[in-house]
Amino acid sequence: MAERSKKSRNIIGIVLAILIVLVVWSMVSAMSARSKSKYKHLGIAEFEKGNYQEAIKYYNKGLEAKPDDPCLFNNRGLAYYSLEQYDKAVADYTKAIELKPDFADAYYNRGLAYFKKGSSYNLEPRKKAIGDFTKAIELKPDFVEAYYNRAVTYTEQIHYHHKYATIPPKFPSKDMDNYNKALADYTRVLHLDPSYILAHQGMGNLFYRHGDWDLATAEYNKALDHEKEILAKAGKVGLAGVLNSRGRNYLAAGKLKEAISDFTRAIEYYKKGVISKDVGLSKSVTNALAHRTVAAWELGRWKDTIKFADETIEVKESNPKKYGKSTFYYFTKG
Protein backbone atom coordinates (compact mmCIF):
# COMPACT_ATOMS: atom_id res chain seq x y z
CA MET A 1 0.00 0.00 0.00
CA ALA A 2 2.82 2.36 0.96
CA GLU A 3 4.62 1.47 -2.26
CA ARG A 4 1.51 2.32 -4.32
CA SER A 5 1.16 5.65 -2.50
CA LYS A 6 4.79 6.45 -3.20
CA LYS A 7 4.33 5.70 -6.91
CA SER A 8 1.24 7.89 -7.01
CA ARG A 9 3.16 10.76 -5.44
CA ASN A 10 5.95 10.30 -7.98
CA ILE A 11 3.49 10.36 -10.88
CA ILE A 12 1.80 13.45 -9.47
CA GLY A 13 5.20 15.08 -9.05
CA ILE A 14 6.15 14.32 -12.65
CA VAL A 15 2.82 15.66 -13.93
CA LEU A 16 3.21 18.83 -11.86
CA ALA A 17 6.75 19.27 -13.15
CA ILE A 18 5.55 18.92 -16.75
CA LEU A 19 2.74 21.41 -16.12
CA ILE A 20 5.16 23.89 -14.56
CA VAL A 21 7.50 23.55 -17.56
CA LEU A 22 4.57 24.06 -19.95
CA VAL A 23 3.36 27.11 -18.05
CA VAL A 24 6.86 28.62 -17.94
CA TRP A 25 7.38 27.84 -21.64
CA SER A 26 4.00 29.36 -22.45
CA MET A 27 4.90 32.49 -20.49
CA VAL A 28 8.29 32.74 -22.21
CA SER A 29 6.67 32.22 -25.62
CA ALA A 30 4.03 34.85 -24.87
CA MET A 31 6.69 37.30 -23.69
CA SER A 32 8.75 36.57 -26.81
CA ALA A 33 5.71 37.12 -29.04
CA ARG A 34 4.87 40.38 -27.26
CA SER A 35 8.50 41.49 -27.52
CA LYS A 36 8.59 40.68 -31.23
CA SER A 37 5.31 42.50 -31.82
CA LYS A 38 6.47 45.48 -29.79
CA TYR A 39 9.72 45.83 -31.73
CA LYS A 40 7.95 45.33 -35.06
CA HIS A 41 5.50 48.14 -34.33
CA LEU A 42 8.25 50.42 -33.02
CA GLY A 43 10.22 49.71 -36.20
CA ILE A 44 7.23 50.52 -38.38
CA ALA A 45 6.67 53.78 -36.49
CA GLU A 46 10.29 54.87 -37.03
CA PHE A 47 10.18 53.79 -40.67
CA GLU A 48 7.08 55.88 -41.34
CA LYS A 49 8.88 58.91 -39.85
CA GLY A 50 11.81 58.33 -42.20
CA ASN A 51 14.11 57.20 -39.39
CA TYR A 52 15.34 54.14 -41.24
CA GLN A 53 18.42 53.46 -39.10
CA GLU A 54 16.29 53.50 -35.95
CA ALA A 55 13.77 51.21 -37.63
CA ILE A 56 16.55 48.74 -38.39
CA LYS A 57 17.62 48.72 -34.73
CA TYR A 58 14.11 47.76 -33.65
CA TYR A 59 13.80 45.11 -36.34
CA ASN A 60 17.14 43.67 -35.20
CA LYS A 61 15.80 43.37 -31.65
CA GLY A 62 12.62 41.79 -32.96
CA LEU A 63 14.66 39.21 -34.87
CA GLU A 64 16.65 38.44 -31.73
CA ALA A 65 13.33 37.56 -30.08
CA LYS A 66 12.03 35.63 -33.10
CA PRO A 67 14.67 34.89 -35.76
CA ASP A 68 12.24 33.00 -38.00
CA ASP A 69 9.76 35.85 -38.59
CA PRO A 70 9.50 36.58 -42.35
CA CYS A 71 7.66 39.87 -41.76
CA LEU A 72 10.54 41.28 -39.70
CA PHE A 73 13.03 40.36 -42.43
CA ASN A 74 10.77 41.93 -45.05
CA ASN A 75 10.34 45.10 -43.01
CA ARG A 76 14.06 45.42 -42.34
CA GLY A 77 14.61 44.95 -46.07
CA LEU A 78 12.31 47.92 -46.70
CA ALA A 79 14.45 50.05 -44.38
CA TYR A 80 17.68 48.99 -46.11
CA TYR A 81 16.02 49.69 -49.48
CA SER A 82 15.08 53.19 -48.32
CA LEU A 83 18.74 53.75 -47.38
CA GLU A 84 19.75 52.60 -50.88
CA GLN A 85 21.54 49.58 -49.37
CA TYR A 86 20.14 47.27 -52.01
CA ASP A 87 22.36 44.24 -51.39
CA LYS A 88 21.27 44.10 -47.76
CA ALA A 89 17.66 44.60 -48.81
CA VAL A 90 17.88 41.70 -51.28
CA ALA A 91 19.41 39.47 -48.58
CA ASP A 92 16.56 40.23 -46.17
CA TYR A 93 13.83 39.73 -48.77
CA THR A 94 15.45 36.45 -49.79
CA LYS A 95 15.42 35.27 -46.16
CA ALA A 96 11.75 36.27 -45.86
CA ILE A 97 10.96 34.22 -48.98
CA GLU A 98 12.89 31.22 -47.62
CA LEU A 99 10.80 31.37 -44.45
CA LYS A 100 7.53 31.99 -46.33
CA PRO A 101 7.72 30.79 -49.96
CA ASP A 102 4.29 32.23 -50.83
CA PHE A 103 5.20 35.73 -49.57
CA ALA A 104 4.09 37.76 -52.62
CA ASP A 105 5.05 41.11 -51.07
CA ALA A 106 8.61 39.93 -50.40
CA TYR A 107 9.01 38.85 -54.04
CA TYR A 108 7.68 42.23 -55.13
CA ASN A 109 9.99 44.13 -52.78
CA ARG A 110 13.00 42.10 -53.88
CA GLY A 111 12.07 42.90 -57.47
CA LEU A 112 12.21 46.61 -56.66
CA ALA A 113 15.66 46.18 -55.10
CA TYR A 114 16.95 44.22 -58.10
CA PHE A 115 15.59 46.95 -60.37
CA LYS A 116 17.58 49.57 -58.46
CA LYS A 117 20.73 47.44 -58.70
CA GLY A 118 20.44 47.30 -62.49
CA SER A 119 20.66 49.83 -65.29
CA SER A 120 20.36 50.10 -69.05
CA TYR A 121 23.94 48.83 -69.20
CA ASN A 122 23.60 46.17 -66.48
CA LEU A 123 20.53 44.17 -67.40
CA GLU A 124 21.04 41.05 -65.28
CA PRO A 125 19.49 42.55 -62.11
CA ARG A 126 16.62 43.87 -64.24
CA LYS A 127 15.95 40.33 -65.50
CA LYS A 128 15.84 39.14 -61.89
CA ALA A 129 13.42 41.97 -61.12
CA ILE A 130 11.08 40.81 -63.88
CA GLY A 131 11.28 37.26 -62.51
CA ASP A 132 10.32 38.45 -59.03
CA PHE A 133 7.46 40.66 -60.25
CA THR A 134 6.18 37.72 -62.31
CA LYS A 135 6.31 35.42 -59.26
CA ALA A 136 4.47 38.01 -57.17
CA ILE A 137 1.74 38.16 -59.84
CA GLU A 138 1.48 34.35 -59.89
CA LEU A 139 0.92 34.40 -56.13
CA LYS A 140 -1.41 37.41 -56.24
CA PRO A 141 -3.02 37.75 -59.71
CA ASP A 142 -4.50 41.20 -58.98
CA PHE A 143 -1.19 42.66 -57.74
CA VAL A 144 -1.45 46.03 -59.50
CA GLU A 145 1.90 47.38 -58.29
CA ALA A 146 3.70 44.27 -59.55
CA TYR A 147 2.19 44.67 -63.03
CA TYR A 148 3.12 48.36 -63.01
CA ASN A 149 6.73 47.85 -61.96
CA ARG A 150 7.18 44.93 -64.35
CA ALA A 151 6.00 47.28 -67.10
CA VAL A 152 8.47 49.93 -65.93
CA THR A 153 11.26 47.35 -66.03
CA TYR A 154 10.37 46.27 -69.57
CA THR A 155 10.27 49.95 -70.57
CA GLU A 156 13.69 50.62 -69.07
CA GLN A 157 15.17 47.75 -71.09
CA ILE A 158 14.23 49.41 -74.37
CA HIS A 159 17.37 50.91 -75.86
CA TYR A 160 17.41 53.60 -78.50
CA HIS A 161 20.01 55.79 -80.14
CA HIS A 162 18.13 58.74 -81.62
CA LYS A 163 16.11 60.32 -78.83
CA TYR A 164 15.81 63.69 -80.47
CA ALA A 165 15.27 62.55 -84.07
CA THR A 166 12.18 63.90 -85.78
CA ILE A 167 11.59 60.46 -87.31
CA PRO A 168 11.16 57.69 -84.72
CA PRO A 169 13.98 55.13 -84.91
CA LYS A 170 13.25 51.63 -86.12
CA PHE A 171 13.20 49.27 -83.17
CA PRO A 172 14.97 45.91 -83.21
CA SER A 173 12.76 42.90 -82.49
CA LYS A 174 14.06 42.56 -78.91
CA ASP A 175 12.99 46.11 -78.10
CA MET A 176 9.61 45.58 -79.75
CA ASP A 177 9.10 42.50 -77.58
CA ASN A 178 9.77 44.54 -74.44
CA TYR A 179 7.57 47.33 -75.83
CA ASN A 180 4.62 44.99 -76.34
CA LYS A 181 5.04 43.36 -72.92
CA ALA A 182 5.20 46.77 -71.22
CA LEU A 183 2.14 48.01 -73.08
CA ALA A 184 0.21 44.88 -72.07
CA ASP A 185 1.17 45.36 -68.40
CA TYR A 186 0.25 49.06 -68.32
CA THR A 187 -3.07 48.20 -69.95
CA ARG A 188 -3.62 45.50 -67.32
CA VAL A 189 -2.89 47.98 -64.53
CA LEU A 190 -5.53 50.41 -65.81
CA HIS A 191 -8.00 47.55 -66.25
CA LEU A 192 -7.51 46.44 -62.63
CA ASP A 193 -7.42 49.98 -61.26
CA PRO A 194 -8.49 52.85 -63.57
CA SER A 195 -7.43 55.32 -60.86
CA TYR A 196 -3.78 54.19 -61.04
CA ILE A 197 -2.69 57.49 -62.58
CA LEU A 198 1.03 56.73 -62.71
CA ALA A 199 0.32 54.05 -65.33
CA HIS A 200 -0.38 56.92 -67.74
CA GLN A 201 3.08 58.30 -67.03
CA GLY A 202 4.49 54.83 -67.65
CA MET A 203 2.72 54.58 -70.99
CA GLY A 204 3.96 58.06 -71.82
CA ASN A 205 7.54 56.94 -71.12
CA LEU A 206 6.98 53.88 -73.31
CA PHE A 207 5.67 55.95 -76.23
CA TYR A 208 8.52 58.44 -75.72
CA ARG A 209 11.09 55.68 -76.10
CA HIS A 210 9.35 54.57 -79.26
CA GLY A 211 9.49 58.11 -80.64
CA ASP A 212 5.72 58.62 -80.55
CA TRP A 213 5.88 62.13 -79.09
CA ASP A 214 2.20 63.01 -79.54
CA LEU A 215 0.97 59.76 -77.97
CA ALA A 216 3.42 60.28 -75.12
CA THR A 217 2.21 63.85 -74.53
CA ALA A 218 -1.40 62.66 -74.41
CA GLU A 219 -0.56 60.10 -71.70
CA TYR A 220 1.45 62.59 -69.63
CA ASN A 221 -1.46 65.02 -69.87
CA LYS A 222 -3.86 62.35 -68.60
CA ALA A 223 -1.60 61.84 -65.61
CA LEU A 224 -1.13 65.55 -64.90
CA ASP A 225 -4.87 66.13 -65.01
CA HIS A 226 -4.75 64.45 -61.59
CA GLU A 227 -1.91 66.27 -59.84
CA LYS A 228 -3.60 66.02 -56.42
CA GLU A 229 -3.88 62.25 -56.74
CA ILE A 230 -0.22 61.99 -57.76
CA LEU A 231 0.81 64.07 -54.76
CA ALA A 232 -1.27 61.86 -52.46
CA LYS A 233 0.13 58.61 -53.88
CA ALA A 234 3.71 59.48 -54.82
CA GLY A 235 4.43 62.80 -53.11
CA LYS A 236 6.18 65.86 -54.51
CA VAL A 237 9.05 63.83 -55.92
CA GLY A 238 6.53 61.62 -57.75
CA LEU A 239 4.83 64.64 -59.32
CA ALA A 240 8.24 66.03 -60.24
CA GLY A 241 8.96 62.77 -62.05
CA VAL A 242 5.87 63.11 -64.25
CA LEU A 243 6.70 66.74 -65.08
CA ASN A 244 10.30 65.81 -65.82
CA SER A 245 9.13 63.04 -68.16
CA ARG A 246 6.79 65.33 -70.08
CA GLY A 247 9.49 67.99 -70.27
CA ARG A 248 11.92 65.47 -71.73
CA ASN A 249 9.29 64.46 -74.28
CA TYR A 250 8.68 68.12 -75.21
CA LEU A 251 12.43 68.56 -75.64
CA ALA A 252 12.55 65.56 -77.97
CA ALA A 253 9.59 66.93 -79.95
CA GLY A 254 11.23 70.35 -80.29
CA LYS A 255 8.69 72.13 -78.04
CA LEU A 256 11.41 73.89 -76.12
CA LYS A 257 9.44 76.54 -74.21
CA GLU A 258 7.04 73.90 -72.93
CA ALA A 259 10.03 71.75 -71.97
CA ILE A 260 11.61 74.56 -69.92
CA SER A 261 8.31 75.18 -68.14
CA ASP A 262 7.95 71.51 -67.17
CA PHE A 263 11.58 71.15 -66.11
CA THR A 264 11.30 74.28 -63.94
CA ARG A 265 8.22 72.95 -62.16
CA ALA A 266 9.84 69.53 -61.79
CA ILE A 267 12.93 71.07 -60.18
CA GLU A 268 10.75 73.01 -57.73
CA TYR A 269 8.90 69.86 -56.68
CA TYR A 270 12.09 67.82 -56.42
CA LYS A 271 13.50 70.42 -54.04
CA LYS A 272 10.27 70.62 -52.04
CA GLY A 273 10.11 66.86 -51.64
CA VAL A 274 10.58 65.44 -48.17
CA ILE A 275 14.21 64.33 -48.17
CA SER A 276 15.47 61.83 -45.63
CA LYS A 277 18.68 62.80 -43.87
CA ASP A 278 19.97 59.33 -44.75
CA VAL A 279 19.25 59.39 -48.48
CA GLY A 280 19.58 62.88 -49.94
CA LEU A 281 18.16 64.47 -53.07
CA SER A 282 17.42 62.22 -56.02
CA LYS A 283 19.82 62.55 -58.93
CA SER A 284 16.72 63.09 -61.10
CA VAL A 285 16.83 66.78 -60.16
CA THR A 286 20.23 67.05 -61.83
CA ASN A 287 18.79 65.38 -64.89
CA ALA A 288 15.97 67.96 -65.05
CA LEU A 289 18.40 70.84 -64.50
CA ALA A 290 20.68 69.65 -67.28
CA HIS A 291 17.86 69.12 -69.76
CA ARG A 292 16.49 72.57 -68.99
CA THR A 293 19.93 73.95 -69.86
CA VAL A 294 19.84 72.10 -73.19
CA ALA A 295 16.40 73.53 -74.02
CA ALA A 296 17.55 77.09 -73.26
CA TRP A 297 20.67 76.58 -75.38
CA GLU A 298 18.63 75.27 -78.34
CA LEU A 299 16.36 78.34 -78.05
CA GLY A 300 19.40 80.62 -78.14
CA ARG A 301 18.63 82.00 -74.66
CA TRP A 302 22.30 82.34 -73.71
CA LYS A 303 21.85 84.08 -70.36
CA ASP A 304 19.40 81.41 -69.25
CA THR A 305 21.73 78.72 -70.57
CA ILE A 306 24.58 80.00 -68.38
CA LYS A 307 22.26 80.46 -65.38
CA PHE A 308 20.78 76.97 -65.71
CA ALA A 309 24.19 75.37 -66.31
CA ASP A 310 25.62 77.06 -63.20
CA GLU A 311 22.69 75.78 -61.13
CA THR A 312 23.23 72.27 -62.50
CA ILE A 313 26.92 72.34 -61.63
CA GLU A 314 26.19 73.77 -58.17
CA VAL A 315 23.81 70.92 -57.33
CA LYS A 316 26.19 68.32 -58.76
CA GLU A 317 29.18 69.65 -56.84
CA SER A 318 27.18 69.83 -53.60
CA ASN A 319 27.39 66.04 -53.51
CA PRO A 320 30.19 64.84 -55.81
CA LYS A 321 29.88 61.26 -54.55
CA LYS A 322 26.24 61.06 -55.66
CA TYR A 323 26.58 63.22 -58.80
CA GLY A 324 30.05 62.11 -59.86
CA LYS A 325 29.40 62.25 -63.60
CA SER A 326 30.07 65.32 -65.68
CA THR A 327 27.16 67.68 -66.17
CA PHE A 328 27.40 67.13 -69.91
CA TYR A 329 26.89 63.41 -69.34
CA TYR A 330 23.31 64.25 -68.45
CA PHE A 331 22.90 66.38 -71.57
CA THR A 332 23.43 63.34 -73.78
CA LYS A 333 22.18 60.51 -71.56
CA GLY A 334 18.68 61.78 -70.85
Task: For the chain, give the mean pLDDT.
Answer: 84
Ranked by mean pLDDT, the top range of 37-41, 169-173, 262-266, 286-290 is 262-266
pLDDT for residue 17 is more than 80: no
Q: Which of 126-135, 200-209, 316-325 has the lowest mean pLDDT?
A: 316-325
Residue 64: other Cβ atoms inside 10 A? 13
End of a domain among 97, 115, 141?
A: 141
71-87 pLDDT, tens digit each: 999 999 999 999 999 99
Residue 4 — pLDDT band, cuts 50, 70, 90?
low
134-163 pLDDT, tens digit each: 999 999 999 999 999 999 999 998 865 444
| Cα–Cα distance, 1 to 224 (Å, whole number) | 92
Mean pLDDT throughout 76-102? 97
Residue 48 in domain: yes
| Cα–Cα distance, 84 to 297 (Å, whole number) | 34
pLDDT for residue 196 is more than 60: yes
Q: Are the CB atoms for 145 and 115 separated by under 8 Å?
A: no
Residue 317 in domain: yes
pLDDT for residue 167 is more than 70: no
Q: Are the CB atoms for 198 and 206 separated by under 8 Å?
A: no
pLDDT for residue 22 is more than 50: no
Share of the chain above pLDDT 70, in %: 77
CATH number of domain containing 122:
1.25.40.10
Q: What is the pLDDT of residue 175?
A: 84
Q: Which of 140-144, 158-162, 192-196, 292-296 has the lowest mean pLDDT?
A: 158-162
Q: Give the list of residues 6+ apart from residue 140 with CB closer than 8 angstroms, or none.
A: 104, 146
- Output phi, psi for 279, to 5 deg: -110, -50
| Cα–Cα distance, 229 to 107 (Å, whole number) | 27
Q: Are the CB atoms for 62 and 44 separated by under 8 Å?
A: no
pLDDT for residue 172 is more than 80: no
Residue 149 in domain: no
Domain that residue 64 falls in: 38-141
pLDDT for residue 127 is more than 90: yes
pLDDT for residue 50 is more than 80: yes
Q: What is the pLDDT of residue 201?
A: 97
Residue 283 in domain: yes
End of a domain among 115, 141, 167?
A: 141
Residue 23 in domain: no
Residue 56: other Cβ atoms inside 10 A? 23
When divided into structural domains, the chain yields a total of 2
Residue 112 in domain: yes
pLDDT for residue 248 is more than 50: yes
Q: What is the pLDDT of residue 158?
A: 85
Residue 312 in domain: yes
209-232 pLDDT, tens digit each: 988 999 999 999 999 999 999 999
Q: Treating both helix axes as pointing N-terminal to C-terminal, what angle do 2-48 and 52-65 enclose, rounded to 10 degrees?
A: 170
Q: Which of 19-23, 35-39, 168-172 has the lowest mean pLDDT?
A: 19-23
3-state SS of the chain? CHHHHHHHHHHHHHHHHHHHHHHHHHHHHHHHHHHHHHHHHHHHHHHHCCCHHHHHHHHHHHHHHCCCCHHHHHHHHHHHHHCCCHHHHHHHHHHHHHHCCCCHHHHHHHHHHHHHHCECCECHHHHHHHHHHHHHHHHCCCCHHHHHHHHHHHHHCCCCCCCCCCCCCCCCHHHHHHHHHHHHHHHHHHHHCCCCCHHHHHHHHHHHHHCCHHHHHHHHHHHHCCHHHHHHHHHHHHHHHHHHHHHHHHHHHCCHHHHHHHHHHHHHHHHHCCCCCCCCCCCHHHHHHHHHHHHHHHHCCHHHHHHHHHHHHHHHHHCCCCCCCCHHHHHHHC
Residue 270 in domain: yes
pLDDT for residue 287 is more than 60: yes
End of a domain among 123, 141, 159?
A: 141
Residue 168 — pLDDT band, cuts 50, 70, 90?
low
CATH number of domain containing 287:
1.25.40
Looking at this protein, which amino acid is placed at residue 135? Answer: K
pTM: 0.80
57-72 pLDDT, tens digit each: 999 999 999 999 999 9
Q: What is the pLDDT of residue 18?
A: 47
